[in-house]
Structure 1
Amino acid sequence: MFACFFQSAICIWSVVGAGGEMVMEEGRPGPSKPAGDRRPQQREKKEKKQDKQQPCEGFSIKAMMKNSVVRGPPPAGSVKQRPAKHTAFRKFYERGDFPIAVQHECAGNKIAWKVEIEDLDYHYFLPLFFDGLCETEFPYEFFARQGVHDLLEHGGSKILPVVPQLIIPIKNALNLRNRQVLCTTLKVIQHLVVSAEMVGEALVPYYRQILPVLNIFKHMNDVGYPGCLMKLLSCIH
């Protein structure tokens, strides 16, 4: 009996130790941790996993599940710039069909016309120069922009019959959504309206082809667009 008591005391001493601290002997397994202590950690991991939001497509069964986040629709791209294609103006210029050349001056470059502008066939040349408004590279952009203003300035009564042929080039230039081309085209339309009598009235049936693109950019504040648009609207009215 004394031997059993002595062995029990040795076991307690080996586990508790002299200082009252838990001591594990080498080769002996320590006291197991209660199962209840692991449950809070497992519960926290499970809650974190449940709180994680999962993206999904709209109008799907997964979209109605908890913690699902429906992805928004992709951008419509209404103001995204479209790639420009080579125009007929560039083709004719490279072939040398236009009677024009560059005139270098101190104040800036100008177009030197090899013939009198009043003698040109406006039904042929004016739509071609309007088609060049889509160009953004030199010298095509320079010749098209300056050539249009020169033709409108000296056209007079020749401009009004050509207005229906100018709508498609104007629409193509606006549909590029290029800020620089937009402002250039607005200034050209403004000049077109005041270039001859009844031109503004002749543009009214074509407003539905021109105004939608302008409405898309009505809140644009760069490259002087608001000023150009307001001047154009004042000229039209």
Structure 2
Amino acid sequence: MSAPSSYRPPTEQDRQLVDGVWRERKHGIEPPKQETDMTKAMLAQGRMSPQKVGVDLKMQKAMLLKQMALLDDRCAATHKILGKKTRDRRASKLLAQAHAHLPRSSLSKQGQRVIEKPVALPKRPPVRRTTPSITPNPDVLIHKLKRTAKTVNAQKIQNRTRPHKGPCSGVFRKQKVEETVFPTRYERGELPCAIEHGACHNTLSWACPLLQLDYEHYLPIFLDGIRCTDARYKFVARQGFDEMIEEAKGFPDCVLPVVPALIKPIRLALATHDPDIVVAGLNALQKVVLSNYGVGEAMVPFYRQLLQPMNLFYTKRQNIGDQIFYGQRKGTDLGTAVLETLELLEKTGGPNAFVNIKSYVPVYESCMQ
């Protein structure tokens, strides 16, 4: 619909007039007849477009809806606050009524809660002991609520006069012995072997055949090196000794002359009280005895130096109940290694071996009977 030729744009006064009319209609108030007639006159004269009037009315309607939603939210929040204040007021009144029967205490500060006085327990007469005791004692009065000072002092005196537990002897503690010179000899290149590193395990590479070596010189050196704790020197010493003893089987002339020189390294290894070194020394002694015929009998005069540490560790075993101790399978159990060594010395030492072993290890029983 096209606007009439006499159309002019509405002024600000016209818009305010229309807004007032529709605001009053929204709240249920009928506008005055004069304003209604004026609006109709403006539309009839073409001073206001019907389309413009419709757009303005829609905008006013949307604004009114938003304002009404905001007012509803504010009213809900106000009712919530008022309800909370009312509940708090009622709760304080109920609490005051509940504590009204309690006596007021002299509280210096206001707002503190009333604390009830502790109720005194009734006094009970002492109860005499009726159960018989082992030794005749006078009647003792047992107070259930508190103990007398006399009983407390007697207990303190008894605790002070109790004997203190003495210090441990440390018989199984690791001992300090003279250091071995095996690492120094290996670093100087005095040994005819070297470590050959492999993918799975390491081996020893010898400079010459083992039977061509001087056993009286090299065998005590390798046996003295079993006390090393460094992994490299420990492997060289123990592996070198095992290979030399294994190669000397069937050649008693290589081992029998060296027996007196092997006693001191074995005795020092047993004197360390280190389980790993002690087991290594016992294994070395077993291999020496089994290397050739007659070596066990040659060891009998030296039982005095070797069997005293064995007597100490004869009963040294792991007690873990019904669990499995894999040290027996691996050969690292100290008591088992001592027992096996003593039985081997008795079997290879001849007729006088058991008598000498029994004199130094009294709890040992013969395995030959």
Assess same fold via TM > 0.5: yes
Contact kept in structure 1, 2:172 and 2:273, CA below 8 Å: yes
C-alpha displacement at 1:206, in angstroms?
Answer: 1.2
Unaligned runs of 5+ in 2: 1-142, 319-331, 347-369
C-alpha displacement at 1:221, in angstroms?
Answer: 2.4
1:121-140 counterparts in 2 under 5 A? 121-140=214-233
Structure 1 residues 123-132 or 82-91, which shifts more?
82-91
Contact kept in structure 2, 1:117 and 1:151, CA below 8 Å: yes
Which of 333, 346, 359 matches 1:224? 333
1:191 aligns with 2:300: no
C-alpha displacement at 1:88, in angstroms?
Answer: 1.4
1:35-184 counterparts in 2 under 5 A? 44-52=148-156, 68-83=161-176, 86-106=179-199, 108-155=201-248, 156=251, 157-184=253-280
What TM-score do the two structures reach when normalised by structure 1? 0.71
Contact kept in structure 1, 2:177 and 2:271, CA below 8 Å: no
C-alpha displacement at 1:72, in angstroms?
Answer: 3.5
Contact kept in structure 1, 2:314 and 2:339, CA below 8 Å: no
C-alpha displacement at 1:125, in angstroms?
Answer: 0.8
Alpha-carbon deviations, 1:193-225, whole Å to 9, x = none?
Answer: 011121111111111111111121122225322
C-alpha displacement at 1:107, in angstroms?
Answer: 5.0
What TM-score do the two structures reach when normalised by structure 2? 0.47
Aligned pair in 2 of structure 1 residues 171, 229: CA closer, same or farther (>3 Å)?
Answer: same
Aligned pair in 2 of structure 1 residues 53, 216: CA closer, same or farther (>3 Å)?
Answer: farther
Which of 191, 201, 205 matches 2:301? 205
Kindly provide the amino acid, as one letter, of the partner of residue 204 in structure 2: I
Please identify the structure whose Cα radius of gyration is greater.
2
Is the partner of 2:175 in helix, strand or coil? Answer: coil
Kindly provide the amino acid, as one letter, of the partner of residue 104 in structure 1: H
C-alpha displacement at 1:53, in angstroms?
Answer: 5.2
Kindly provide the amino acid, as one letter, of the partner of residue 230 in structure 1: L
Kindly provide the amino acid, as one letter, of the partner of residue 317 in structure 2: N
Which of 221, 233, 237 matches 2:342? 233
C-alpha displacement at 1:49, in angstroms?
Answer: 2.0
Structure 1 residues 202-211 or 69-78, which shifts more?
69-78
C-alpha displacement at 1:227, in angstroms?
Answer: 3.2
Aligned pair in 2 of structure 1 residues 233, 43: CA closer, same or farther (>3 Å)?
Answer: closer
Is the partner of 1:111 in helix, strand or coil? Answer: strand
**Cα distance in 1 between the residues matched to 2:157 and 2:235:** 54
Kindly provide the amino acid, as one letter, of the partner of residue 163 in structure 1: V
C-alpha displacement at 1:167, in angstroms?
Answer: 0.8
Identity of aligned pairs, percent? 33
Aligned pair in 2 of structure 1 residues 83, 53: CA closer, same or farther (>3 Å)?
Answer: farther
**Cα distance in 2 between the residues matched to 1:236 and 1:196:** 13
**Cα distance in 2 between the residues matched to 1:208 and 1:182:** 17
Is the partner of 2:317 in helix, strand or coil? Answer: coil
Contact kept in structure 2, 1:84 and 1:134, CA below 8 Å: no
C-alpha displacement at 1:54, in angstroms?
Answer: 6.3
Kindly provide the amino acid, as one letter, of the partner of residue 48 in structure 1: V
C-alpha displacement at 1:106, in angstroms?
Answer: 5.0
**Cα distance in 2 between the residues matched to 1:199 and 1:76:** 37
**Cα distance in 1 between the residues matched to 2:204 and 2:340:** 26
Give runs of ≥4 in structure 1 deviating > 4 Å.
40-43
**Cα distance in 1 between the residues matched to 2:316 and 2:146:** 54
C-alpha displacement at 1:50, in angstroms?
Answer: 2.2
